[in-house]
Structure 1
C-alpha cells in the first residue's frame, strides 16, 4: 500500500498544479527585474536563493536601484512579508512532532500559493504523515519552479527589448495567487483597503506608500475580523 506521506505529497502537488501556472511569468519578470537594476547573474541568483519571496524582491528592487538606506530596504521587505507570521501561526498544528530542522525548512519554503491551496485541507486531516507530505511536496515543487524560471529571466534578460513593458505580467500573476485567498470578508476588506491605501499614498517619498498600504490593509482586516466575531456572538 502507498504510504500516507506519498499519498499526501501526490495530492498536494495535484491540487497546487493549476495555481502554479501563474508562477511562471512572475518568476521570469523577477529575474529580468533584478538584472535591469544592475545586479549581476550571480548576485541575482544569490538574492533569489536568500530572499525567496517574490513580492519582497520586486518591492525592494526599486529601493536598491535608487540607493535607499539599508534600514528602509529591510523595513520594506519586512512589511511586505508580515503576512507570513499570520500564515505560519495558523498552520502551526501541521508541524506538531516535526523536528526543528523540518520546521525551519518549512518556514523557508512557505509561500502564498501553497498556503492558499493546501492549508485548509491539511488542517482538516488527522494523519500527521499525510499532512506533512501534502504541505512539503508542493512547497518543494514551487521552490524548484521559482528558481528555474527566475534563472530563465536572469540569463534571458539581455535578449528582452528594453521597451517591452512587462509589469502587467506581474500584476496578473499576483492576482492569480491572491484571489484564492480572498474567500472571507476580513480578507476581502484587507485586500481592498490595502490596495486603495497604496494607490492613494503612492506619492510618498522612498516608495513608502506600499508600506503604508500594507499597514492599512492589516489594520482594516483586523477590525473587520473583530466586527465579524462580535456580530456572530451577538
Structure 2
C-alpha cells in the first residue's frame, strides 16, 4: 500500500465513520428478521455474506416465508438492488484502472452510505491510489460492522425487546443516507419517482408495486442523467 493509498484510506474512514453508525440498527433488524423467518444462525449469516444487502434480504424474506416461487424471489432481489447499477456507473470513472480483483472487491463492498459520502471526493481527486484507499477503507469497515451487527441480531433474537422499535431507528438511519444523495439531481428524481410510484401502486399483489416503483425510479434517474449530460454538452 502506497502512502497515497494510506492517506486516502484514513480520510475515507474519518468521513464515513459517523454515517456507518446508522448500519447498526439496520443490521440488527435484518438479523432479527431472518431468525423470525425460520432461518438458522448458519443460514442467516450465509445469506448475509452472500447477499450483503439489507434491502434485498428484507425484501425477499416475506416471499421466502410464504413459499413464493424462486423466480419471484430472485426477481425481487435483483429489482431492489437495481440502484447499484446507477451507483456503479457513477463510480466506474473514479475507480477505473485497478486490477480485476480490486474491481470485484469494490463492487461487492458497494453500500449506500459509502457511495453517498465519498462520491464527490472520488470524482474530484486526481490520484488513483488515493481514490482507491478513500473508497476501500470505509467500505471494508462498513462490511465488518454490518456482519458483526447482523450476527448480534441473529444471536440475540430472543433477548432484544420488541419495544425498542429497531425498525423505526433503521428507517431514520436510512433517511440520513438519503439526504446527501438528494444533492445529485438524477438521484433526487429517482427518489421522488420511486416514492410516488410505491404509494400509488401499493395495492398490487406479491409486492409487485415496490418492484415497479424501483424500476420506475431507476429509469427516471437514468433519463435525468442523460438529459443533464446533453444539456451540459451544448
Global fold match (TM > 0.5): yes
Match of 2:142 in 1: 142
Q: Does 1:129 align with 2:138?
A: no
Match of 1:53 in 2: 53
Match of 2:111 in 1: 111
For residues 38-64 of structure 1, what are the alpha-carbon distances to aligned partners after superposition, in whole Å with 9 as ceiling and x for unaligned? 101110000000000111111111111
- Tell me the distance in 2 between the aligned counterparts of 1:18 and 1:101: 28
Q: Secondary structure of 2:129's partner?
A: helix
Is the 2:82–2:218 contact (alpha carbons within 8 Å) kept by the matching residues of 1? no
- Tell me the distance in 2 between the aligned counterparts of 1:15 and 1:165: 28
Is the 2:114–2:139 contact (alpha carbons within 8 Å) kept by the matching residues of 1? yes
- Tell me the distance in 1 between the aligned counterparts of 2:152 and 2:140: 18
Q: Secondary structure of 1:91's partner?
A: helix
Tell me: CA distance 1:3–1:58, structure 2 relative to 1, closer, same or farther (3 Å).
same
> Normalised by the size of structure 1, how large is the TM-score?
0.92
- State the 1:161 CA deviation: 4.2
Unmatched segments (≥5 aa) in structure 2:
none
- Tell me the distance in 2 between the aligned counterparts of 1:4 and 1:228: 33
- Tell me the distance in 1 between the aligned counterparts of 2:53 and 2:126: 30
Match of 2:201 in 1: 201
Is the 1:16–1:114 contact (alpha carbons within 8 Å) kept by the matching residues of 2? yes
Pairs within 5 Å for 1:3-18: 3-18=3-18
- State the 1:228 CA deviation: 4.6
- Tell me the distance in 2 between the aligned counterparts of 1:228 and 1:8: 30
Is the 1:29–1:169 contact (alpha carbons within 8 Å) kept by the matching residues of 2? no
- State the 1:142 CA deviation: 0.4
- Tell me the distance in 2 between the aligned counterparts of 1:174 and 1:193: 17
Pairs within 5 Å for 1:10-89: 10-89=10-89
Is the 2:25–2:167 contact (alpha carbons within 8 Å) kept by the matching residues of 1? no
Tell me: CA distance 1:24–1:59, structure 2 relative to 1, closer, same or farther (3 Å).
same
- State the 1:94 CA deviation: 3.0
Tell me: CA distance 1:212–1:96, structure 2 relative to 1, closer, same or farther (3 Å).
closer
- State the 1:86 CA deviation: 1.8
Tell me: CA distance 1:127–1:230, structure 2 relative to 1, closer, same or farther (3 Å).
closer
Tell me: CA distance 1:193–1:13, structure 2 relative to 1, closer, same or farther (3 Å).
same
The alignment of Structure 1 onto Structure 2 pairs a total of residues equal to 233
Match of 1:177 in 2: 177
* 154-163 or 76-85, larger mean C-alpha shift: 154-163
Q: Does 1:191 align with 2:207?
A: no
Is the 2:34–2:61 contact (alpha carbons within 8 Å) kept by the matching residues of 1? yes
CA RMSD, 1 decimal: 1.9
- State the 1:212 CA deviation: 0.8
